[in-house]
Amino acid sequence: MAHDAEFVPYAVGYVELGDLLIVESRIVAADIGALKIGMPMRLVRERLRRDPDGVEVITYAFSPEGA
């Protein structure tokens, strides 16, 4: 793993999906300092890395609604 790469702070949180389930997720936001508990969120995709063949590996993430 790239331990020498510069660390970029990222956000994680738990998102409640209706009254069904709570999932842990990366949170994508322009300003992670402005995130608040209880904010409405929507599902987005986030690029994690490229695999050795150059294919993009993506993951699910959430982002503040309307951001």
Partner 1 sequence: MTHVHIVGAGIHPFGRHPRKTALELGVHAIREALGEAGLDWSSIQCVFGGSAAGGAIDALLPELGYTGVPTINVANGCATGGSSLLAACAAIQSGQYDLVLAVGFDKHERGAFNADPQALGLPKWYGESGMMLTTQFFAMKIRRYMHEHNISVETLGLVAEKAFENGVRAPHAWRREKIPLPAILAAPMVSDPLTKFMFCSPSEGGVALVLASAARMKSLRLSGPRLRAATIRSRLAGSFEVFSPALTVQRDPSPTVLAARAAFEAASVNPRDIDVAQIQDTESGAEIMHLAENGFCADGAQDELIAAGHTRLGGKLPVNTDGGCIACGEPIGASGLRQVYENVQQLRQRAEGRQVEGARLAYSHVYGAPGISAVTILEA
Q: Which is nearer to partner 1, 58 or 67 (CB)?
A: 58
Q: Alpha-carbon dihedral of residues 5, 32, 11, 37, nearest 10 degrees?
A: 170
Amino acid at 5: A
Task: Check residue 47 for interaction with partner 1 (CB under 8 A).
Answer: no
Say if CB 59 and CB 45 are below 8 A apart. Answer: yes
Task: Check residue 48 for interaction with partner 1 (CB under 8 A).
Answer: yes
Task: Check residue 53 for interaction with partner 1 (CB under 8 A).
Answer: no
Name the site residues for partner 1 (rule: CB under 8 A).
10, 12-14, 16, 19-26, 37, 48, 59
